[in-house]
Amino acid sequence: NALAPIRENYDYILIDCPPALSMLTVNALVAADGVIIPMQCEYFALEGLSDLINSIQRIAQMLNPSLKIEGLLRTMYDPRISLTNDVSAQLKQHFPDTLYQTVIPRNIRLAEAPSYGMPALVYDKQSRGAIAYLALAGELVRRQRAGAHTATA
């Protein structure tokens, strides 16, 4: 209800939620059209992914039929770590159409930005992390345009 009066003013409205499936997160999922799932390329994150997907599907069935998973985003990505590469390979294998090509690197400037009360793009727009988020924005727009194009063709 809070988003209804402003929905038409924006192409995208992002609701950042805590990782736990709290009432706040459930409310955001009820209000959302799509979900981007950030995934650290670590074992426990991979273990919890199926539970999260099941929870999102239940919310879609019971409360928000338009809710869909837009994509999986690999975050805190460090290709020097073999576990990162193993988990990334599993995500590519099991979610080839859902996994974003963009990865968000492990980056100290991204970690510092919140402590200064700033978005990463304001704190250091030249950092690898900020550039990766810009790349993600481009990928989101390209995916939406490709989906809209195929739907109308």
Q: Would you say the pTM of this structure is higher than 0.85?
A: yes
pLDDT single digits (tens) 30-71? 999 999 999 999 988 888 898 999 999 999 999 999 999 999
Question: Which of the four CATH numbers 3.40.50.11540, 3.40.50.300, 1.10.3430.10, 1.10.3720.10 does domain 1-106 have?
Answer: 3.40.50.300
Cα 104 from chain centroid (whole Å)? 10
Angstrom CA distances, 21 to 24, 33, 39, 53, 101, stand at: 8, 17, 15, 11, 26
pLDDT single digits (tens) 97-139? 999 999 999 999 999 999 999 999 999 999 999 999 999 999 9
Please count the CA atoms within 13 angstroms of the CA of 23 that sit on its side-chain side: 0
Give the tokens for residue 71.
């994509």
